[in-house]
A and B are shown apart, each in its own frame.
Chain A
Amino acid sequence: MTQPAETLAKQLALVIDLNVCVGCHACVTSCKQWNTSGSAGPLADLNAYGAEPSGTFFNRVQTWEAGAYPAAETIHFPKSCLHCEDPPCVPVCPTGASYKRKEDGIVLVDYDRCIGCKYCAWACPYGARELDEARQVMTKCTLCVDRIYDEKLAPEDRKPACVKACPTNARLFGDVKDPESEVSKAIRERGGYALMPEWETRPANQYLPRLVRQAQEF
């Protein structure tokens, strides 16, 4: 059924530093603004001013607690598509609307071919895909594919909107197959890890673990 995934020469990805994410949601709103206005949008907001608002987002920042008081830690945890190297969402798509780009490893949806069957979302263990309720097509993080190659933008702006928005530089962007890239070095030197490794999806996005400092005795 699923062939072993091809190893691509280039794989763009995000590396997220859990040490410095402060949970401000700037990446969430910046992502929403860029993508609702760009080629991936519009991203629906249903009942936006009502009691039960529901919208399409490619990126969410969650908050978690690890350990127990007084040694409890609060962890702000940004979550978006991990652009897996062996993406389980791609082979299940009956129309070929879901695909992984050979040139840079970005997992994308062709909205014109999507029939809205939701099977790819079932096949993603991370819940990274969201059906847009207004357009009835599957949507997900594009790594701002309509931005990172735009030569009309200044070179320093050719990064995903979330990366540009982060005030603490918690989001690094680059090619994880290039050993000299900022992201590869960060993964190598700071113990980058994948989410839910038990499913062997080989996520391209990785997370940098928190360095826990013991409380100082005074």
Chain B
Amino acid sequence: MRPAFSVILFTVLAGMGQGLFLMLVRADALGADPHELAVGGFASVALLGAGLACSFFHLGHPMRAWRAIAMWRTSWLSREVIVLPLTIAVVALWSLEHLLGKPHTAALAAAGVVLCLALWWCTGMIYACLRFLREWAHPLTLLNFALLGWMSGATLFAAYWSVLHGAAAARLWVVAAMVLTCAGAAARLASLARNRALRPKSTPQSAIGVAAARVRQISQGTTGGSFNTREFFHGRSAAFVANVKSIALVLAFALPLVLLAAAWVWPVPGLLPAAAAAQFVGLIAERWLFFAQANHPQNIYYQAVA
């Protein structure tokens, strides 16, 4: 598939916002300062809101986006469109409540956590429910959206805490971020290994229904391109894809782990913000790869120009 930057940015930004909120709720339970939590909560709202804004750029008719809530009974995209603004609203209320020093309601925090998890579920299912996009049609897709988002939010929270209280005070959050980053890396490596082992179910033979041992396309029917030749191909070389994969693995997992470990040993300011920034860039690359690696069976019909 052709990676769309609007969707890449949306899923990375929103995922980070969701992960950040989960960490804020945990910090709240451990008795953190409400005003500091409120600032973090508004950062989560900003990330989710920026993600929502990015998603509009994917649409041919953004002004009609409100219509997308209609088909929640059948469409995961419709469900996501409902859950995302609800999540933003609840996280914003939670943050406001902490800012004003009002008595905190556990119900609001619980609702926020449930909505964050539900949003990951919806986002993951948008891809995982497409059964013939086999790189996506697997529970690992759901796990990865959740773990990678949570991981990036945890690293961001550790960075925020170190800015507020110094790196030494952030050690608990550094450990949490390291555990989540390891879990995210394991899940993503598992999906990469699965993708490598996949063999296409559709073939030129099944595409046109001819059983000959050798079937090849001579002409796709047009000399120029079409929607079909643009939307479903990433248009990059294998070397480019391999480079993006290396960048994703290094910046999303390896480098942040090194920086997190270093920050745990030497509480130097700047290490944790650097880890969060690296992870953000790494996840952009990771999400690009997620799209690029998905092989759409329609591509069998668009192989040759004559």
Contacts and interface: CB of A to CB of B under 8 A. Distances in A.
Contact of B215 (A3, A66, A116): A66
A5 B156 CA distance: 46
B246 interface: no
Contacts of B301: 62, 79, 126-127
Interface in B202-234: 202, 204, 206-210, 212-228, 231-232
B258 interface: no
B64 A113 contact: yes
B133 interface: yes
A123 interface: yes
Interface stretch (B27-35, B37-45, B54-62): B54-62
Nearest to A210: B210
B129 interface: yes
Contacts of B65: 115
Given A75-B210, A131-B231, A1 B64 contact: no
B281 interface: no
A207 to B, nearest CB: 6
A77 B208 contact: yes
B1 interface: yes
A195 interface: yes
A88 to B, nearest CB: 8
B131 to A, nearest CB: 7
Q: Interface residues of A: mostly helix, strand, loop or mixed? A: loop
B60 A64 contact: no
B61 A136 contact: yes
A118 interface: yes
Interface in B225-259: 225-228, 231-232
A87 B204 CA distance: 21
Contact of A2 (B74, B81, B228): B74
Contacts, number: 186
A57 interface: yes
A3 B70 CA distance: 17
B268 interface: no
A67 B220 contact: no
A197 B202 CA distance: 9
B201 interface: yes
Contacts of A79: 221, 301
Contacts of B208: 64, 75, 77, 195, 207
B202 A125 contact: yes
Contact of B224 (A54, A92, A117, A118): A54
B85 interface: no
A115 B61 contact: yes
Contacts of A129: 227
A37 B296 CA distance: 32
Nearest to A77: B208
Given A117-B58, A125-B298, A137-B60, A93 B220 contact: no
Contacts of A67: 212-214
A92 B77 contact: yes
Interface string B289-306: 000000011110110001
A94 to B, nearest CB: 4
A48 to B, nearest CB: 9
Contacts of B215: 64-66
A118 B229 CA distance: 14
Contacts of A77: 208
Interface of A: 1-3, 25, 28, 47, 52-57, 60-68, 73-75, 77, 79, 88, 90-97, 113-119, 121-127, 129-131, 133, 135-137, 193-199, 207, 209-210
18 contacts: A60-B220, A60-B221, A60-B222, A62-B219, A66-B214, A73-B212, A75-B208, A92-B76, A114-B64, A118-B58, A121-B231, A122-B1, A122-B296, A126-B297, A127-B298, A195-B208, A196-B202, A197-B206
Give me the 10 closest cross-chain CB pairs, A-B, nearest first.
Answer: A116-B60, A136-B60, A127-B298, A91-B74, A60-B221, A94-B68, A94-B78, A66-B212, A53-B224, A95-B67
